[in-house]
Structure 1
């Protein structure tokens, strides 16, 4: 992932090409505007990923669960789900 900057005039003239590059290379583009009222353009997939992360970190309980899971993975305490276990978990959603 790369972050590029451009000014508003260039962004307006080249929006289609910029959008193609954003999607193809998972880039972000900061569009500089007057008075530092800049905007960021990113792909919808990247935006959705960010939204999911914000949701996952939105409560203290979720943050603690994620930290605990990462610590377990660092210690090698992982378990690969069987197809039956996976189906059971998805049935609870």
Structure 2
């Protein structure tokens, strides 16, 4: 799970490289507090991709229903444990 910190634009400028390292390496979410009250958030690309994937998975009622049914089945012990296969290096290069 990621941690959340807050900073001002001035502190962000002073500590940009260490903040970016925290965001990318430790998955820290940084809230940049603005005087206007409309804050910004700095997250890693991996975190953004995760949010986008979740939004896509939850984008239709059919998808939500299928995911909820799968969760219910797992919680009721109806799931099947499967061993993961090694990734095919050739398949990685096709992505």
Say whether the fold is shared (TM-score over 0.5).
yes
Structure-to-structure mapping, 1:43-82, within 5 angstroms: 43-81=44-82
Distance in 2 (alpha carbons) for counterparts of 1:37 and 1:82: 46
Moved more, 9-18 or 63-72: 9-18
Check 1:26–1:82 CA distance in 2 against 1; reply closer, same or farther (3 A cut): closer
Q: What is the CA-CA distance between 1:82 and the residue it aligns to?
A: 7.3
Structure 1: unaligned runs, 5 residues or longer: 84-93
Map 1:1-93 → 2, pairs under 5 A: 1-81=2-82
Task: Report the Cα offset of residue 54 of structure 1.
Answer: 0.6
What is the aligned partner in structure 1 of residue 90 from structure 2? Answer: none
What residue ranges of structure 2 are gaps of 5+ in the alignment? 85-95
Report how far residue 81 of structure 1 moved: 4.8
**Cα distance in 1, alignment partners of residues 30 and 22 from structure 2:** 10
Q: How many residues align?
A: 83
How does the TM-score come out when normalised to structure 1? Answer: 0.82
CA distance in 1, matches of 2:65, 2:52: 19
The root-mean-square deviation of aligned C-alpha atoms, in Å, is 1.5
Under a length normalisation based on structure 2, what TM-score does the superposition of the two structures give? 0.80
The structure with the greater share of residues assigned to helix is: 1
